[in-house]
Amino acid sequence: MKKILFVCTGNTCRSCMAEGLFNSAVSADNMLAGKFSGSSAGLAAFEGDTASSFAVQVLSDEWGIDISSHRARKISREDITGSDLILTMTQGHRKALAEAYPEAADKIFTLKEYVMDLGKNAGSGRFADSLDILDPYGMPLNVYRECAREIKNAVDILIEKLKKEELG
């Protein structure tokens, strides 16, 4: 099984929403179910923190996905070595991980750059504004909703990309 790790700062908002959205999409897809699993971690997570109540609410309200049992965890070397692909929420996260784990730099991307194959699509498409998914922490519910939709958009493209790769 191929493992995809989603990374943000505290592992209570963006990366756990990405994990929930990804695992839900994979389990619903006959081609990918059982072949991929998603997990998440944070660069500065406080072990055991719960997912943000707004993150839980948005995923439940919008897509019926329950991440209420999520517990934050700080990224570890085992996460890096055990993941086939590492997708960060910002360029800063990507840079920090690539510097800390240079041996894994070739499998670390921002979520947006990975789904857009940015070598040829830079500056175009629906993510042209930024490669970063901004942190909704401490913001109102509508900001979490916008953030979750942005992540969902990227995860949907990721699912299609993985399906194409599976087909060869």
Q: Which residue is it, tokens 């969902």?
A: 152
29 is catalytic: no
Catalytic residue among 13, 14, 73, 94, which? 14
DSSP the chain: -EEEEEEESSSSSHHHHHHHHHHHHHHT-TTTTTTEEEEEEETT--TTPBPPHHHHHHHHHHH----TT-B--B--HHHHHH-SEEEESSHHHHHHHHHH-GGGGGGEEEHHHHHHTHHHHTT-STTTT-S-----TTS-HHHHHHHHHHHHHHHHHHHHHHHHHHH-
Q: Is residue 77 among the annotated active site residues?
A: no
Catalytic annotation present for 129: no
- Which residue in the list 29, 49, 135, 156 is annotated as catalytic? 135
Nearest to 113 by CA among 86, 144, 149: 86
Q: Which of the following is catalytic: 8, 13, 16, 147?
A: 8
Residues assigned a catalytic role = 8, 14, 135
